[in-house]
Structures are given as C-alpha cells and as structure tokens.
Homo-oligomer: A and B are copies of this chain.
Amino acid sequence: MGESRYSKQRELIYDALASTKEHPSAEMIYKELKPSYPSLSLGTVYRNLNFLVEEGRAISIPSTVNRYDATTQDHPHFFCTCCGNLYDLDISMDQTLDEPVESLGYEVHRRDLIFNGLCPHCLKKGNFGTED
C-alpha cells in the first residue's frame, strides 16, 4: 500500500505553490525552481502536482477537452466525474454573482460555473468511482 516518501523536489514544489497567489501552471513552477535546482525535471513537477491534488493539499483548476454549446447565454454546467457527462443546469445564473466582483474593480464578461460531482443517473447505479 502506497506510502509517501520525503523528497526535496516535492517539498520545493509544494512550497512554491503555497507561497504564491499566481495559481501557477506546472511549467511556471518548473521555470521558477529550475535555476536553483538544475536537475529538476518537468515530469517530476507534473507528478508531484498530481500527487498533491490527490492528497488534497492542492486543487487544480481544471482543464478538460474543449466542449462547445450553441446556447450562448450563460448557464451553469454540471460535470459528472463518474460518467463524464456534462449537463446543462436549468438554473438561473444569478446576475448578482457579478456585483461583488465588479465592486472589486473587475469588468465581468462571462462566468463559468461548473459543478463537479455525481449525476442522478450514476448515483442511482451506485457508480461512485470513475468508470473505465
């Protein structure tokens, strides 16, 4: 059963992540650490970021394959982590979501609200893990 072991690289990567507000990508972390740790490899950065996410010590702001929608007005989506389906949610995207953001000085053009979890269908089937 998987024990997790100390490594200098992992520590550096976590520290780099925890000490910035930039939401760095793997590449950004790599570029930051490489000068002071020349033997570091990009693969290690990827592996460790994924590891940290699994451990719950980091989140990833997700990238999926691009999906498209001909309904151009904003509406939230639900991504089922079990079956991979992406559902429309017929819920009004409360425009008041923008207010606090705009009061901070941002100009909002669009909102993407994506829920993650299990859809009713997968809940019914009792599929709680990822299907393959």
Contacts and interface: CB of A to CB of B under 8 A. Distances in A.
Interface of A: 14, 17-18, 21-27, 29, 49, 52-53, 56-72, 76-78, 81, 85-89, 91, 97-98, 100-101, 104-120, 123
B105 A120 contact: yes
B72 A66 contact: no
Nearest to A111: B115
B65 A27 contact: yes
A58 B69 contact: yes
Contacts of A81: 109
B53 A68 contact: yes
Given A49-B66, A59-B69, 15 more contacts: A22-B85, A23-B68, A24-B67, A27-B65, A58-B68, A58-B70, A59-B110, A60-B66, A63-B65, A63-B66, A106-B117, A107-B118, A109-B117, A112-B114, A112-B116
